[in-house]
A and B are shown apart, each in its own frame.
Chain A
Amino acid sequence: MATIKLENLTKKFDKVIAVNKVSLTINDGEFIILLGPSGCGKTTTLLTIAGIYKPTAGAIYMNGMLMNNIPPRYRKIGMVFQNYALYPHMTVFENIAFPLRTLKNISKNDVKIRVEELAKKMRITSLLERKPSELSGGQQQRVAIARALAKEPQTLLFDEPLSNLDAKLRIVMRGELKRLQETLGITTVYVTHDQSEAMALADRIAVFNHGLLQQVGSPEEVYYSPRNIFVAGFLGSPSMNFLRDTHLRREKGKTYVEKEGKKLVEIPPQNLNKLKDDSDRNLILGFRPEDCEIVSSGEMGIPAKIYLLERLGREIIVNVEAFGNIFKVIANPDSEFEKEENVILKIDPRRMHLFDSKTEEAIL
């Protein structure tokens, strides 16, 4: 199928640098997700892979071949757009058949067979005679996917395909997409700003911000070992809690994170060698809402006060106030808390993160 290699890919629009020296290798059959907030360069990267945009600098290789100036139609790709971009004047059948008509030596009957096969796969057989305007969002989505698959592309590109669907349908389509990609085994590049979508679908996630590639890795890697504050904060919902102005403190062979003289958490000895930098610097302590618990008293931890409870049924999101910050903590739904109650926030020492406050890079 296809491997895609981006080498220092740069795209400028006038003076704005949309994509800045991105290097990324996408393996054959891989489902990779480009994740980031809007305007981070992920869609521009995707459109450059598609050949809609030409790179300003750098290179795109597909199966080892330089593709910089190759028009989209020769790249053996299929693409699904956020607004589906179906041809409104054609029926569903015509939409799916449209890419096929560019193939040489394909008979009318072969087109029909192929379209019907795709329609069956996407479960839209009953809609073939309709116009796109007569379809619901989810149905248009299926047509768009069928059209993208028509020519058996080597690479599938998705640009925020689920954003226009309602929340419930989005979850359904998400599952179907994953299943489809696994059965077909087509290399897939998928753009989204939804971190849960990325976690659910991707083999690997490439996190973008300000046109720069922040981190590439499996969902677990980017979730559990974020390389910097941006990645740490972007993945996960509610997002990671950060406590600024913390320092390292060594006492009797143990290393603690402290703030204003208070020991917050001890770094486990087996993690000390992972500590990239142990000088006495201003640090940011990061911990996820699920990686801490609220206890009534204790030696070590963040002294906090209960601020607000968000009861979600399956869990409670407890908002606590500490050092002038509001932290979110996921707690068991049966736990009882009083507002304004003084508590201690105990952080799971194996799951904590430390960032340099200047560079915002992770040091643990």
Chain B
Amino acid sequence: MIKKEDYKLGFLQRNSSKIFNLTVYSILIILSSPIVLAYAWLFMRSFSTGMKHGFIPIGLTFNNWRFMWEQISGLPNVWHVTLNTIVLGGSVAGVVLLVSSMAGFALSRFTFKGQGKLLLLILMLHAFPTVSLMVAIFYILRITHLLNSLLGVILLRASMDIPWATWVIKGFYDGIPREIEWAGAIDGYSRIAVWRKVLLPMVKPGLIVIGVFEFLSGWSEFIFITTFIFSNKWWTLSQYTYTALGGYRFADYGLLTAISVWYILPVTVLFIFANKYMTQMSLGGIKG
């Protein structure tokens, strides 16, 4: 017989899960507060004339956001730059998605000689620091007449990221049983049609994750822009922000914060939208 006295629990035992959660959340909040506060400061500063004691905003103003409707000396038109950035992000995402969705399928489904070594090589390629390749890339771009062109940067960024994306999407393909593909073949579809109509929809979470990451990769690209783009006709927001930051003798913090907020805003929106799929990453995972 179990008696009531036998299972009487102490306060800590009864509330152990609550206490655990409370502790975890407290630690997380403390750890993330510098970043959160920094963004909050950035946002408030962009709409105020100054900060009292460094962190209390004073005077609401939209003057900091004037770069959106007037020409700032030394900087190109922000709308044009933003469009360039969207084109860069979108194209990088498009190219990477196109290549990795097919390459990942091939690596997952076909066995060929040296497959394991190829997979390792792909990972290794990804591990090389981009900066070490700059001189070689410069030569290649010059020969192919892709210097000072957005297309050059798009292809560069994409080729740097394709290995990673291929690994990720291969993991998703690995999780699909062969029988599903066979069923498609028996149901009357060619291999390519099965891939398009059955497999692609099944790896959609992976594609969304890659799409978002690659858009951001293009969106935040700086090294290639600043090295291989010479005319401000092809600037993107990273170069624009950098120039605004470093190009003035007197730092205009209001303008700077407003530009920064403008630069991170689309990213934030994208993350909120894709949040659901990001967490699914672990389901596909990376399996060798």
Q: Is the CB of A50 within 8 A of B189?
A: no
A317 within 8 A of B: no
- Interface presence of B51 (CB below 8 A): no
Query: How distant is B93 from chain A, measured CB to nearest CB, in Å?
Result: 22
**Please, which residues of chain B bring their CB within 8 A of the CB of A85?**
177, 179-180, 182-183
Q: Which residues of A contact B186 (CB under 8 A)?
A: 50-52, 72-73, 75, 77-79
Expressed in whole angstroms, the minimum distance between the Cβ of B166 and any Cβ of chain A is 22
User: Would A73 and B182 be within 8 Å (CB), given that A83-B177, A87-B198, A88-B202 are in contact?
Assistant: no
B185 in contact with A72 (CB, 8 Å) = yes
| Complex Cα gap A47–B190 (Å) | 17
Q: Is the CB of A79 within 8 A of B177?
A: no
Which chain A residues (103-120) contact chain B, with CB distance < 8 Å?
103
Residue numbers in A under 8 Å from B184 (CB-CB): 87, 98
Select one of A75, A79, A98, A102 contacting B182, CB under 8 A: A79
Give the chain B neighbours of A98 by CB distance below 8 A.
184, 187, 197
User: Looking at B179, B183, B185, B202, which has the most chain A CB atoms within 10 Å of its CB?
Assistant: B183
* Chain A positions within 8 Å of B182 at CB level: 47, 50, 52, 72, 79, 81, 85
A147 at interface by CB-CB < 8 Å: yes
Q: Quick one: given A87-B198, A88-B202, are A71 and B185 in contact (CB under 8 Å)?
A: yes
**B188 part of interface (Cβ distance < 8 Å):** yes
A87 to B186, CA, bound (A): 13
The reply to whether B180 and A102 form a contact with Cβ atoms under 8 Å apart is no
Of the candidates B185, B189, B201, the one whose C-beta lies within 8 Å of that of A89 is B201
Q: Let me know if A73 and B185 touch, CB within 8 A.
A: yes
How far is A28 from B187 in the complex, measured between Cα atoms in Å? 22
Bound-state CA distance A99–B187 (Å) is: 5
Contact A87 B180 (CB under 8 A): yes
| Known A-B contacts A73-B190, A87-B198, A89-B202; A81 and B183 likewise in contact (beta carbons under 8 Å) | yes
Q: Which among A78, A86, A99, A150 has the highest number of chain B CB atoms within 10 Å?
A: A99
Judge whether A11 is part of the interface by a CB distance below 8 angstroms. Answer: no
Interface residues of B in 158-205 (CB under 8 A from A): 177, 179-180, 182-190, 197-198, 201-202, 204
Tell me which residues across on chain B come within 8 A of A89, comparing CB atoms: 201-202, 204
A-B contact pairs, 23 of them (CB 8 A): A47-B182, A51-B186, A52-B182, A71-B185, A72-B186, A73-B185, A75-B186, A77-B186, A79-B186, A82-B179, A83-B177, A85-B177, A85-B180, A87-B198, A87-B202, A89-B202, A89-B204, A98-B184, A98-B187, A98-B197, A99-B188, A103-B188, A147-B183
Interface residues of A (CB under 8 A from B): 47, 50-52, 71-73, 75, 77-79, 81-83, 85-89, 98-99, 102-103, 147, 150-151
Q: Give me 18 other A-B pairs in contact (C-beta within 8 A), A89-B201, A98-B184, A102-B188 excluded.
A: A50-B186, A51-B186, A72-B182, A73-B186, A73-B188, A79-B186, A85-B182, A86-B183, A87-B183, A87-B198, A87-B202, A88-B202, A89-B204, A98-B197, A99-B188, A103-B188, A147-B183, A151-B188
